[in-house]
Amino acid sequence: MRVLFLKDLWNLFFPDLCCACHKQLIRNETLLCVHCRHDLPFAGLSNLKENSLERSFYGRLPITSATALFTFHKKGKIQQLIHLLKYQNRQDIGVFMGTLLSRELLESDRFKDIDLVLPVPLHPKQFKKRGYNQLTLFGKEMAKNLKCPYEEKILIRTASAKTQTKSRRTDRFRNTSLSFEVTDCSLLENKHVLLVDDVITTGATMEACCSALLKTKNVQLSIAAIACPQEYSI
């Protein structure tokens, strides 16, 4: 009772706000208010074989399945949530997204035999600046629910990613394709790997990561992201 009173008093001066609309949260609401929670733009791809996100990789990557939890709109709720996750160390948002996405994967028979979850790695300089990889708690939550290990040290980023955002798409692919390496291929052999990222846009980063992973014998790859552009949704 006393603890509750102190929390109420704390909330009076420092109220928790909805991460999307910034209205004050009421008791039992976390991260998002009920309205925003019911208004999330789910992409509806996880259970859909040959969905448009998967098709966008045809001819580029031999992936087994691909999905994204939400569609991404400029200045929309998901952009705000990902911004908080990426730049404000709100990894509780990653856990929330990981819970929702793994629930979708477990309800689908397309991701049943995942052996390992790997995040798209940050460049060491980016990691040093940010202090964390925004995918860590998201990926760990996914792995926990899929009952498999989560590994951050197998796929690493090696070259500079500095020119990525400014260069044209072809140049960007050339840059990122050079910047990923697998530290120990034996850990991937005969495994079905789920590669996770926050947002898939052109797919160039995924393509570069997968190219590095596919140098291993008998590795099977699937892809899952928090969000993708609206054009991929159903």
Tokens 């008093």 map to which residue? 9
Contact 188, 157 (CB under 8 A): no
- Minimum Å distance from CB 54 to Zn ion? 32
Q: Count residues contacting Zn ion (CB under 5 A)?
A: 5
- Minimum Å distance from CB 49 to Zn ion? 34
Burial of residue 8 (CB within 10 Å: 0-12, 13-18, 19+) is exposed
Identify which of 105, 111, 102, 86 has the alpha carbon closest to the alpha carbon of residue 19. Answer: 86
Does residue 226 interact with Zn ion by CB under 5 A? Answer: no
Residue closer to Zn ion by CB (options 31, 148) is 31
Radius of gyration (Cα) for the chain, nearest Å? Answer: 19
Longest CA pairwise span in the chain (Å): 62
Site for Zn ion in 166-205 (CB under 5 A): none
Residue closer to Zn ion by CB (options 57, 96) is 96
- Minimum Å distance from CB 72 to Zn ion? 18
Site string for Zn ion, 5-34 (x = CB under 5 A): -------------x-xx-----------x-
Q: Which two tokens stand for residue 157?
A: 């980023």
- Minimum Å distance from CB 20 to Zn ion? 5
Site stretch for Zn ion (CB under 5 A), options 35-43, 48-56, 67-75, 116-124: 35-43
- Minimum Å distance from CB 28 to Zn ion? 14
Tokens 């031999």 map to which residue? 62
Residue closer to Zn ion by CB (options 31, 146) is 31
Contact 224, 142 (CB under 8 A): yes
Residue closer to Zn ion by CB (options 90, 172) is 90
- Minimum Å distance from CB 37 to Zn ion? 8
Does residue 93 interact with Zn ion by CB under 5 A? Answer: no
- Minimum Å distance from CB 227 to Zn ion? 18
CA angle 168, 134, 17 (to 5 degrees): 115
Q: Using N-to-C axis directions, what is the helix angle for 91-107 and 136-146, rounded to 10°? A: 30
Distance between CA atoms of residues 120 and 135, nearest Å: 8
Residue closer to Zn ion by CB (options 20, 53) is 20
Distance between CA atoms of residues 188 and 214, nearest Å: 9
Does residue 36 interact with Zn ion by CB under 5 A? Answer: yes
Phi, psi of 90 (to 5 degrees): -90, 70
Q: Which residues bind Zn ion (CB under 5 A)?
A: 18, 20-21, 33, 36
